[in-house]
């Protein structure tokens, strides 16, 4: 949508949301990628990261931190982002068994690196929500609450969250007893009750407390 069609109040919000990107451009950076993740906290499923490059003259009405958006808004913006030929994005996915092997922090870093590596254009600076990639060839800046402060990070948060939600919907069809389509693997009372009743399934994170403490030595673990 052209910026001239955006209402004044929304235009002011979007200008504030692109202030970090404009500051980077003034410093001489020419290709800025926002990076964010979804799924660090759940008891099941992967952690998903996304990296997103939005051209400097493109503003996305309605874009915001994915956690602030209703599901229908997030789905609409996801479709808007991934179908726009001027917007470049990449996705990284690290599954639960790898999370158990290397821990969630390292898995998040790995997913972010995958997402950045998947970009068809190499950025010259990364804006990352809450993290900084050390020993990485592209400079990065840790932006606290970046998904509320940067349009490109907000876009990455939407792509990561929606990608993960869709993956968990697929897992629901494989493991309907856990209702992954409803809670996406988070530790809701309903999810915890299902774990107690059925035991963990293969996509549960066995290193996470509620799983590890109650079932690590239990015969309720599936054998695969």
C-alpha–C-alpha distance, residues 59 and 56, integer Å: 8
Binding-site residue set for a divalent metal cation: 36-37, 129
C-alpha–C-alpha distance, residues 176 and 66, integer Å: 26
Give 216's pLDDT tier (boundaries 50, 70, 90).
low
C-alpha–C-alpha distance, residues 73 and 95, integer Å: 27
Homologous superfamily of 3-174? Ribonuclease H-like superfamily/Ribonuclease H (3.30.420.10)
C-alpha–C-alpha distance, residues 153 and 158, integer Å: 9
Binding-site residue set: 36-37, 129
C-alpha–C-alpha distance, residues 131 and 13, integer Å: 24
- Among 50, 48, 128, 51, residue whose Cα is nearest residue 93: 48
pLDDT digits (tens, 9 = 90+) for 30-59: 999 999 999 999 999 999 999 999 999 999
pLDDT digits (tens, 9 = 90+) for 69-127: 999 999 999 999 999 999 999 999 999 999 999 999 999 999 999 999 999 999 999 99
Q: Is the pLDDT of residue 6 over 90?
A: no
Residue 138: what pLDDT? 96
pLDDT digits (tens, 9 = 90+) for 132-183: 898 899 999 999 999 999 999 999 999 999 999 999 999 999 999 999 999 9
């Amino acid at each position: 949508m052209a910026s001239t069609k955006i209402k004044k109040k929304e235009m002011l919000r979007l200008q504030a949301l692109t202030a970090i990107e404009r500051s980077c451009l003034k410093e001489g950076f020419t290709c800025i990628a926002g990076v964010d993740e979804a799924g660090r906290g759940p008891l099941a499923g992967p952690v998903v990261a996304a990296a997103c490059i939005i051209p400097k003259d493109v503003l996305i009405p309605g874009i915001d931190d994915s956690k602030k958006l209703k599901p229908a808004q997030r789905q609409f913006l996801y479709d808007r982002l991934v179908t726009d030929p001027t917007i470049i994005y990449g996705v990284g996915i690290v599954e639960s068994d790898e999370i158990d092997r290397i821990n969630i922090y390292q898995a998040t870093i790995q997913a972010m690196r995958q997402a950045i590596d998947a970009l068809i254009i190499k950025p010259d600076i990364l804006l990352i929500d809450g993290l900084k990639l050390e020993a990485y060839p592209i400079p990065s800046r840790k932006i606290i609450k970046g998904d509320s402060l940067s349009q490109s990070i907000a876009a990455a948060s939407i792509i990561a969250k929606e990608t993960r939600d869709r993956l968990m919907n697929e897992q629901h069809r494989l493991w309907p007893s856990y209702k992954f389509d409803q809670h996406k693997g988070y530790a809701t009372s309903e999810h915890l009750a299902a774990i107690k009743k059925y035991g963990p399934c293969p996509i549960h994170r066995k290193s996470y407390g509620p799983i590890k403490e109650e079932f690590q030595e239990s015969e309720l673990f599936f054998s695969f």
